[in-house]
Amino acid sequence: MESKTLARIAAVAFVAVAITASVVEASRKAPVPLDTSVTAATIPAADPLHDELTHCQLLGQAGASDADCLRAWSENRRRFLTPGSRPQPSPAAPAPTAEPNNTEAQ
């Protein structure tokens, strides 16, 4: 075979591969973009510890010497590090009391 014919065959093969690769790439579906918006964590509004921690955060460096902040951080560590721990009711909120059952026959 002549070198011209061999060069033409190579050029046609190269163009065929390039067209095939272009068609395959064009037929792919575009990836769905991930939701990059930042959402706030849902924290129950009834948790007074959250309010106290927010207050301590706003105090900045002064919070390190505040007794209430030290207590709040201690409770937060206890909740985070204790497996299965549940928030304790705040001392300001009275515990629910059982009402006597007055349905006895009189």
pLDDT tens digit string along 30-52? Answer: 777 777 776 666 655 577 888 89
Largest Cα separation within the chain, whole Å, is: 120
Q: Residues of 57-71 as b/e, b for ≥16 C-beta within 10 angstroms?
A: eeeeeebeeeeebee
Structure letter (DSSP) for residue 19? H
> pTM higher than 0.95 for the full model?
no
Cβ neighbors of 72 (< 8 A, separation 6 or more) are 49, 52, 53, 56
What is the per-residue pLDDT for 92?
A: 55
**One-letter amino acid for residue 57 of the chain:** Q
